[in-house]
Amino acid sequence: MILTPRGRAGICILPIADAHAHFTSEPHWSRVLDLAGRSRSEITDVVNLGDWGDYSWASDHPRGEPSDAYSEYRCMARQSDELWKALGPRASRVRWHWIDGNHEYRIDPANPKAIARDLIIRPENTEWHASFARWRRRPYLLDRRGILRIGNAAFFHGAGSGRGSDRLEGLRMWSLLGGPRNLLTVRGHTHTVVVPQPVEITAATRGTQWMFNPGHLGPAKPRYATKDNTTTWGTALSLIRQWGNELPRVQYEIIR
């Protein structure tokens, strides 16, 4: 919550993490659309943090999930168009970023494990290509190229999981970026909300880096995670604003 009144932020980012279409929670998705609609005059960037689709049909380890690329892409295209509409006339001036997650890696032609690589259906080759064309895509890479930097905010889907992985990956991002001051690192992947907080460098040292994980937009117990512990999963609806060269501020609400 921003308690100090101030002028308009130069940057206002709407993050979306782990929608996992077509398992996306519709009530949660409509809250995202509400927020986009209410904040349309200030949003400058939308960052899709990856795992937008599930792509189990392209997975080398399917878990008995429905294997239907088209219903998944239809759902993602609908979400893209709904978000475009919610943002109103300024939607064409918003920057649309899509960072690949480990699930997008299932359809990445560079993935040696992708099954039937030549036959993989990519979103831009479907009838919904226009809905995907607005997104600037970033591949799933664990080095600097996998990080999206907007001002002092750095976004990355994430690879590690479990307690402490947000801090470790935050430190790694900070170091890959050359150790900048006032950095906010944002990741998804764990489906578990980590509220904005300083990144501890050692038990006694804190730098000027903060981290945030907005959680996910999927259902609480999806079929794709029958073997995972989903009790910690959650969703933070959020906006990230930045004034000048300050640490970006996160305004968030945990939704259920």
Q: Would you tell me which residues interact with Fe ion (CB under 5 A)?
A: 18, 51, 101-102, 189
85: part of which helix (H) or strand (E)? Answer: helix 69-86
User: 228: which residues sit within 8 A by CB, 6+ positions away?
Assistant: none
CB of residue 144 vs Fe ion: minimum separation in angstroms? 19
18 or 169, CB closer to Fe ion?
18
The nearer residue to Fe ion, 187 or 241, going by C-beta atoms, is 187
CB of 161 to Fe ion, least distance (A): 8
Measured CA to CA, the distance from residue 230 to residue 227 in angstroms comes to 9
Give CA 224 to chain center in angstroms.
18
Nearest-approach distance from CB 225 to Fe ion, in angstroms = 9
Cβ-proximal residues to 10 (8 Å cutoff; 6+ apart), any chain: 44, 151, 242, 243, 244
| Residue 151, Ramachandran bin (φ over 0: left; ψ between -120 and 50: alpha; else beta) | left
Strand order in the sheet with 194-200: 148-150, 153-156, 184-187, 206-213, 194-200
Residue 211 CA, distance from chain mean position: 14
Comparison of 7 and 164: residue with beta carbon closer to Fe ion: 164
**Least gap, CB of 188 to Fe ion (angstroms):** 6
Least gap, CB of 100 to Fe ion (angstroms): 10
Residue nearest to Fe ion (CB): 51
Q: Is residue 83 within 8 Å of residue 46, measured between CB atoms?
A: yes
Taking the complex as a whole, the smallest distance from the CB of residue 20 to Fe ion amounts, in Å, to: 6
Instruction: Give 165 or 242: the residue with its C-beta nearer to Fe ion.
Output: 165
Alpha-carbon distance of 180 to 183, in angstroms, equals 6
Which is nearer to Fe ion, 18 or 45 (by Cβ)? 18
- With beta carbons less than 8 A apart as the criterion, state whether 19 and 52 touch: yes
Q: From the CB of 156, what's the least distance to Fe ion, in Å?
A: 11
Nearer to Fe ion, 43 or 233 (CB): 233
Both structure tokens of 40? 């349309």
Query: Which of 99, 91, 82 is CA-nearest to residue 31?
Result: 82
Cβ-based nearer residue to Fe ion, 21 or 247:
21
